[in-house]
Amino acid sequence: MRTWELSGGRVARSLGALALALALILGVTCVTSTSAVALSNSDGRARLLKELNDLLVKQGLRPLTPSPALTSVAQKWTAQQYRQNTLAHNPKVGSLIPKNWRSWGENVGWALGYANNAVTIHQGWVDSPGHYANMTASKFTHVGIGYVEGKNGAYATQVFATYPGSSSPAVKSVKPKKVKAGKTVRITIKGRSLGGVTRVKIGGRQAKIVKKSSKKLVVRVKLPAGKLQVRVRTGLGWSAATSKSRVTVR
Protein backbone atom coordinates (compact mmCIF):
# COMPACT_ATOMS: atom_id res chain seq x y z
CA MET A 1 0.00 0.00 0.00
CA ARG A 2 1.33 3.41 -0.96
CA THR A 3 -0.25 6.84 -0.63
CA TRP A 4 1.00 10.24 -1.75
CA GLU A 5 -0.64 13.59 -1.09
CA LEU A 6 0.04 17.19 -2.00
CA SER A 7 0.02 19.38 1.10
CA GLY A 8 0.94 23.04 0.96
CA GLY A 9 2.64 22.52 -2.36
CA ARG A 10 4.87 19.76 -1.01
CA VAL A 11 4.61 16.03 -1.48
CA ALA A 12 4.13 13.93 1.65
CA ARG A 13 4.77 10.20 1.46
CA SER A 14 3.28 7.44 3.58
CA LEU A 15 4.35 3.81 3.21
CA GLY A 16 2.49 0.89 4.70
CA ALA A 17 4.35 -1.46 7.01
CA LEU A 18 6.17 -4.37 5.41
CA ALA A 19 3.61 -6.69 6.96
CA LEU A 20 0.87 -5.03 4.92
CA ALA A 21 2.74 -5.55 1.69
CA LEU A 22 3.41 -9.16 2.56
CA ALA A 23 -0.25 -9.68 3.42
CA LEU A 24 -1.05 -9.26 -0.26
CA ILE A 25 1.01 -12.31 -1.20
CA LEU A 26 -2.08 -14.45 -1.04
CA GLY A 27 -1.24 -17.64 -2.89
CA VAL A 28 1.51 -20.16 -2.29
CA THR A 29 2.99 -22.52 -4.83
CA CYS A 30 1.75 -25.59 -3.00
CA VAL A 31 -1.90 -24.53 -3.37
CA THR A 32 -3.62 -26.00 -6.41
CA SER A 33 -7.17 -26.10 -7.66
CA THR A 34 -8.41 -28.17 -10.56
CA SER A 35 -11.42 -25.85 -10.86
CA ALA A 36 -9.29 -22.73 -11.31
CA VAL A 37 -9.97 -20.85 -14.55
CA ALA A 38 -7.55 -18.13 -15.64
CA LEU A 39 -9.21 -14.80 -16.42
CA SER A 40 -8.19 -12.66 -19.38
CA ASN A 41 -6.61 -9.29 -18.61
CA SER A 42 -9.84 -7.45 -19.47
CA ASP A 43 -12.07 -9.85 -17.52
CA GLY A 44 -9.78 -9.62 -14.49
CA ARG A 45 -9.82 -5.82 -14.59
CA ALA A 46 -13.60 -5.77 -14.97
CA ARG A 47 -14.11 -8.15 -12.05
CA LEU A 48 -11.81 -6.16 -9.75
CA LEU A 49 -13.51 -2.88 -10.71
CA LYS A 50 -16.93 -4.39 -9.99
CA GLU A 51 -15.78 -5.76 -6.64
CA LEU A 52 -14.29 -2.38 -5.71
CA ASN A 53 -17.29 -0.26 -6.65
CA ASP A 54 -19.75 -2.76 -5.14
CA LEU A 55 -17.78 -2.44 -1.90
CA LEU A 56 -17.91 1.36 -2.03
CA VAL A 57 -21.66 1.41 -2.67
CA LYS A 58 -22.26 -0.95 0.28
CA GLN A 59 -20.27 1.44 2.47
CA GLY A 60 -22.34 4.39 1.26
CA LEU A 61 -19.43 5.82 -0.71
CA ARG A 62 -19.27 7.15 -4.26
CA PRO A 63 -18.08 4.63 -6.87
CA LEU A 64 -14.76 5.53 -8.48
CA THR A 65 -14.58 6.55 -12.12
CA PRO A 66 -12.38 4.23 -14.21
CA SER A 67 -9.65 6.20 -15.98
CA PRO A 68 -8.08 4.80 -19.17
CA ALA A 69 -4.87 6.70 -18.38
CA LEU A 70 -4.60 5.24 -14.87
CA THR A 71 -5.54 1.82 -16.24
CA SER A 72 -2.67 2.01 -18.73
CA VAL A 73 -0.19 2.76 -15.94
CA ALA A 74 -1.60 -0.03 -13.75
CA GLN A 75 -1.66 -2.59 -16.57
CA LYS A 76 1.91 -1.93 -17.70
CA TRP A 77 3.19 -2.23 -14.14
CA THR A 78 1.19 -5.42 -13.56
CA ALA A 79 2.63 -6.94 -16.73
CA GLN A 80 6.15 -6.10 -15.53
CA GLN A 81 5.50 -7.74 -12.16
CA TYR A 82 4.21 -10.84 -13.93
CA ARG A 83 7.24 -11.05 -16.26
CA GLN A 84 9.63 -10.69 -13.33
CA ASN A 85 7.43 -12.87 -11.08
CA THR A 86 7.94 -10.33 -8.30
CA LEU A 87 5.37 -8.38 -6.26
CA ALA A 88 6.48 -4.76 -5.93
CA HIS A 89 5.24 -1.18 -5.97
CA ASN A 90 5.79 1.09 -8.95
CA PRO A 91 8.36 3.75 -7.93
CA LYS A 92 7.24 6.16 -10.69
CA VAL A 93 3.45 6.26 -10.31
CA GLY A 94 3.30 9.98 -9.53
CA SER A 95 5.20 10.90 -12.69
CA LEU A 96 3.33 8.49 -14.97
CA ILE A 97 -0.30 9.32 -14.18
CA PRO A 98 -2.00 12.45 -15.63
CA LYS A 99 -0.79 15.69 -14.07
CA ASN A 100 -2.75 17.96 -11.71
CA TRP A 101 -3.42 15.14 -9.25
CA ARG A 102 -3.90 16.07 -5.61
CA SER A 103 -3.21 12.62 -4.19
CA TRP A 104 -2.70 9.08 -5.37
CA GLY A 105 -2.42 5.59 -3.94
CA GLU A 106 -1.45 2.13 -5.15
CA ASN A 107 -2.32 -1.43 -4.13
CA VAL A 108 -0.59 -4.49 -5.58
CA GLY A 109 -1.47 -8.14 -5.05
CA TRP A 110 -0.73 -11.69 -6.17
CA ALA A 111 -2.61 -14.99 -5.91
CA LEU A 112 -2.06 -18.50 -7.24
CA GLY A 113 -4.16 -21.65 -7.32
CA TYR A 114 -7.55 -20.30 -6.26
CA ALA A 115 -10.81 -20.89 -8.11
CA ASN A 116 -10.96 -17.14 -8.79
CA ASN A 117 -7.65 -15.41 -8.21
CA ALA A 118 -9.08 -11.94 -8.89
CA VAL A 119 -11.68 -12.29 -6.14
CA THR A 120 -9.02 -13.70 -3.81
CA ILE A 121 -6.78 -10.67 -4.38
CA HIS A 122 -9.72 -8.32 -3.79
CA GLN A 123 -10.56 -10.04 -0.52
CA GLY A 124 -6.93 -9.85 0.55
CA TRP A 125 -6.97 -6.10 0.01
CA VAL A 126 -10.22 -5.82 1.98
CA ASP A 127 -8.74 -7.81 4.87
CA SER A 128 -5.60 -5.64 5.01
CA PRO A 129 -6.24 -2.34 6.88
CA GLY A 130 -3.76 -0.30 4.83
CA HIS A 131 -4.99 -1.53 1.45
CA TYR A 132 -8.62 -1.24 2.53
CA ALA A 133 -7.95 2.38 3.53
CA ASN A 134 -6.80 3.12 -0.03
CA MET A 135 -9.86 1.42 -1.50
CA THR A 136 -12.35 3.32 0.66
CA ALA A 137 -10.61 6.72 0.84
CA SER A 138 -13.29 9.29 0.00
CA LYS A 139 -10.65 11.66 -1.42
CA PHE A 140 -10.00 9.49 -4.48
CA THR A 141 -12.07 10.21 -7.60
CA HIS A 142 -10.55 7.87 -10.21
CA VAL A 143 -9.05 4.42 -10.43
CA GLY A 144 -7.09 2.33 -12.90
CA ILE A 145 -6.72 -1.44 -12.57
CA GLY A 146 -4.17 -3.82 -14.04
CA TYR A 147 -4.47 -7.61 -14.19
CA VAL A 148 -2.37 -10.42 -15.66
CA GLU A 149 -2.90 -14.13 -14.98
CA GLY A 150 -0.96 -17.15 -16.18
CA LYS A 151 1.51 -19.79 -15.04
CA ASN A 152 3.06 -17.32 -12.56
CA GLY A 153 -0.30 -16.81 -10.89
CA ALA A 154 -2.37 -13.64 -11.00
CA TYR A 155 -0.90 -10.19 -10.44
CA ALA A 156 -3.09 -7.13 -9.93
CA THR A 157 -2.57 -3.41 -9.38
CA GLN A 158 -4.95 -0.65 -8.33
CA VAL A 159 -3.90 2.96 -8.97
CA PHE A 160 -6.08 5.57 -7.27
CA ALA A 161 -5.94 9.32 -7.87
CA THR A 162 -7.71 12.53 -6.90
CA TYR A 163 -8.54 15.07 -9.61
CA PRO A 164 -10.72 17.71 -7.89
CA GLY A 165 -13.44 19.21 -10.03
CA SER A 166 -12.70 16.92 -12.93
CA SER A 167 -14.13 13.79 -14.43
CA SER A 168 -13.44 11.63 -17.45
CA PRO A 169 -14.82 13.07 -20.72
CA ALA A 170 -18.06 11.72 -22.14
CA VAL A 171 -19.75 12.23 -25.52
CA LYS A 172 -23.54 12.51 -25.19
CA SER A 173 -24.55 13.58 -28.70
CA VAL A 174 -23.10 14.14 -32.16
CA LYS A 175 -24.65 16.33 -34.88
CA PRO A 176 -25.19 15.80 -37.69
CA LYS A 177 -25.60 12.04 -37.26
CA LYS A 178 -25.17 11.48 -41.01
CA VAL A 179 -22.53 13.13 -43.20
CA LYS A 180 -21.11 12.68 -46.71
CA ALA A 181 -17.95 10.69 -47.23
CA GLY A 182 -14.87 12.31 -48.75
CA LYS A 183 -15.90 15.88 -47.90
CA THR A 184 -14.64 18.10 -45.10
CA VAL A 185 -17.53 18.48 -42.66
CA ARG A 186 -18.17 20.32 -39.42
CA ILE A 187 -19.40 18.19 -36.54
CA THR A 188 -20.74 19.39 -33.19
CA ILE A 189 -20.05 17.20 -30.18
CA LYS A 190 -21.89 17.71 -26.89
CA GLY A 191 -21.01 16.02 -23.64
CA ARG A 192 -19.32 16.29 -20.25
CA SER A 193 -15.87 17.57 -19.24
CA LEU A 194 -14.94 18.60 -22.78
CA GLY A 195 -13.02 21.75 -21.84
CA GLY A 196 -9.79 19.80 -21.35
CA VAL A 197 -10.05 17.84 -24.60
CA THR A 198 -6.78 17.82 -26.55
CA ARG A 199 -7.60 15.30 -29.28
CA VAL A 200 -10.68 14.15 -31.18
CA LYS A 201 -10.79 11.02 -33.32
CA ILE A 202 -13.65 9.89 -35.53
CA GLY A 203 -13.28 6.36 -36.80
CA GLY A 204 -9.60 6.59 -35.92
CA ARG A 205 -9.12 9.74 -38.02
CA GLN A 206 -7.84 12.89 -36.29
CA ALA A 207 -10.27 15.84 -36.34
CA LYS A 208 -9.34 19.51 -36.01
CA ILE A 209 -10.88 21.29 -33.02
CA VAL A 210 -12.22 24.71 -34.05
CA LYS A 211 -14.35 25.56 -30.97
CA LYS A 212 -14.23 24.22 -27.44
CA SER A 213 -16.10 24.63 -24.15
CA SER A 214 -16.81 22.39 -21.16
CA LYS A 215 -19.99 21.03 -22.78
CA LYS A 216 -19.45 21.42 -26.52
CA LEU A 217 -16.84 20.89 -29.21
CA VAL A 218 -16.91 21.79 -32.88
CA VAL A 219 -14.51 19.94 -35.16
CA ARG A 220 -13.68 19.74 -38.86
CA VAL A 221 -12.70 16.50 -40.55
CA LYS A 222 -12.85 14.52 -43.82
CA LEU A 223 -14.14 10.99 -43.25
CA PRO A 224 -14.35 7.67 -45.09
CA ALA A 225 -17.66 5.84 -45.41
CA GLY A 226 -18.89 3.74 -42.51
CA LYS A 227 -20.43 3.85 -39.05
CA LEU A 228 -17.74 5.60 -37.06
CA GLN A 229 -17.20 6.25 -33.36
CA VAL A 230 -16.46 9.75 -32.08
CA ARG A 231 -13.98 9.72 -29.18
CA VAL A 232 -12.34 12.58 -27.32
CA ARG A 233 -9.25 12.62 -25.11
CA THR A 234 -8.24 14.60 -22.02
CA GLY A 235 -5.45 13.98 -19.53
CA LEU A 236 -7.72 11.39 -17.88
CA GLY A 237 -7.95 9.32 -21.05
CA TRP A 238 -10.33 8.67 -23.96
CA SER A 239 -14.11 8.82 -23.74
CA ALA A 240 -16.01 5.55 -24.00
CA ALA A 241 -17.54 4.43 -27.30
CA THR A 242 -21.36 4.38 -27.11
CA SER A 243 -24.35 4.41 -29.46
CA LYS A 244 -24.69 8.16 -28.79
CA SER A 245 -21.15 8.83 -29.99
CA ARG A 246 -21.59 7.27 -33.44
CA VAL A 247 -21.80 9.03 -36.80
CA THR A 248 -22.81 7.48 -40.14
CA VAL A 249 -20.74 8.49 -43.16
CA ARG A 250 -22.04 7.71 -46.67
- The pLDDT of residue 154: 96
Strand partners, 185: 221
Eight-state DSSP code of residue 18? H
- The pLDDT of residue 6: 44
- The pLDDT of residue 4: 56
Asked whether the CA dihedral 153, 111, 32, 50 is positive or negative, the reply is negative
Residue ranges of the chain whose pLDDT lies below 70: 1-37, 165-168, 235-237
Contacts with 30 (C-beta within 8 Å, 6 or more apart), sequence order? none
| pTM given for the model | 0.62
Opening angle at CA 209, ends 208 and 214, nearest 5 = 155
- The pLDDT of residue 7: 34
Say if residues 78 and 4 touch (Cβ distance below 8 Å): no
**Which residue, among 172, 169, 203, has the nearest Cα to 185 in the 3D structure?**
203
Residue 208 CA to residue 217 CA, distance in Å, equals: 10
Of the CA atoms within 13 Å of residue 237, those in its CB half-sphere come to 20
- The pLDDT of residue 36: 57
* pLDDT, tens digit, 9 for 90 and up, residues 100-150: 898 999 999 999 989 999 999 999 999 999 999 999 998 899 999 999 999
Q: Which domains does the chain have, with CATH numbers?
A: 36-162 (3.40.33.10), 170-249 (2.60.40.10)
Eight-state DSSP code of residue 245? G
Helical (H) or strand (E) element with 69 = helix 68-84
* pLDDT, tens digit, 9 for 90 and up, residues 226-240: 999 999 987 666 787
How many C-beta atoms surround the C-beta of residue 133 within 10 A?
15
- The pLDDT of residue 166: 59
Of the CA atoms within 13 Å of residue 225, those in its CB half-sphere come to 1
- The pLDDT of residue 132: 95
Residue 179 CA to residue 24 CA, distance in Å, equals: 53
